Amino acid sequence: MPCMKDKTSTPWVMMNMAMTADGKTSGPKEANGFPRTPSMSRFSSKADHRRLLQIRATTDAVMSGRATVESDAIDLGPGSKHWQRERCRHGREACNKRIVVSASGRIQPHCLIYQNNSSPLLIATTQSGLASARASTRAYDWIRVEAFGEEKINLKQCIRWLQKHWQVRRLVVEGGGHLNDAMFREGLVDELFLTLCPLIYGGRHHATIADGVGFTQLSDAYRLRCVERKRKGRELFLRFLREPDGKV
């Protein structure tokens, strides 16, 4: 793991994603005909899931977009008792804090992420989405709702809030593509973990690790350098660090 930033800077922000060989994070319908949502994938291996839990165990908080966490039985938690003990062994709380990003504030409170009270959960929304998010979560005292920005979420403000109020020094972002894109455009990603899976989905409508607005010029592209490559089974595990002259 790279060195921590100093205490006066923003938290160290990691991103962890799995994608196909053609860069997709979602694809065709499952065999039972159930359509995958744009942010959801199940094509990676058990080894990749173990890596996800290993990365979470090194963090104080896990962040994801609303569409991603509502697409399946996702709770953004630390996993089994083994991983909780691993967190404690390194001086962290047994369960990481969790953040769901939703500009609209329109959430589905019956989803697992909101029913799980194992650790604090923040709904990061906007002033325009504040009333909706608070109305949907009023019955859940483990859920906190905060607004960062008027119509668009100010991610830098959100991350500074996490550092100040929740003492978050290490954060991992787990999609979806629109949240990832915004994190890159704001210059917030320090480290990228990427699992490359030997599949081709094709198609112009399947999600990638960074959808949304993107960068308009090649010279503005986010710059990373690969610092680790590891093959396990049929997958390739990659780790990148932001170049010192990375964007924004």
Count of domains in the chain?
1
* pLDDT number for residue 29: 55
Question: For the segment 79-109, what is each residue's pLDDT rounded down to a tens digit?
Answer: 999 999 999 999 999 999 999 999 999 999 9
Question: For the segment 108-138, what is each residue's pLDDT rounded down to a tens digit?
Answer: 999 999 999 999 999 999 999 999 999 999 9
Task: Give residue 103's domain range.
Answer: 12-28+38-200+222-242
* pLDDT number for residue 232: 93
Question: For the segment 138-182, what is each residue's pLDDT rounded down to a tens digit?
Answer: 999 999 999 999 999 999 999 999 999 999 999 999 999 999 999
Q: What is the pTM of this model?
A: 0.90
**Is 248 a member of any domain?**
no
**Is 159 a member of any domain?**
yes
The C-alpha atoms of residue 125 and residue 149 are separated, in whole angstroms, by 8
Question: For the segment 189-229, what is each residue's pLDDT rounded down to a tens digit?
Answer: 999 999 999 999 888 888 899 998 999 999 999 999 999 99
Q: Please tell me the number of Cα atoms within 13 Å of 190 on its side-chain side.
A: 15
The C-alpha atoms of residue 159 and residue 25 are separated, in whole angstroms, by 25
**Is 216 a member of any domain?**
no
**Is 76 a member of any domain?**
yes
CATH at residue 185: 3.40.430.10
**Is 182 a member of any domain?**
yes
**Is 83 a member of any domain?**
yes
**Is 123 a member of any domain?**
yes
**Is 77 a member of any domain?**
yes
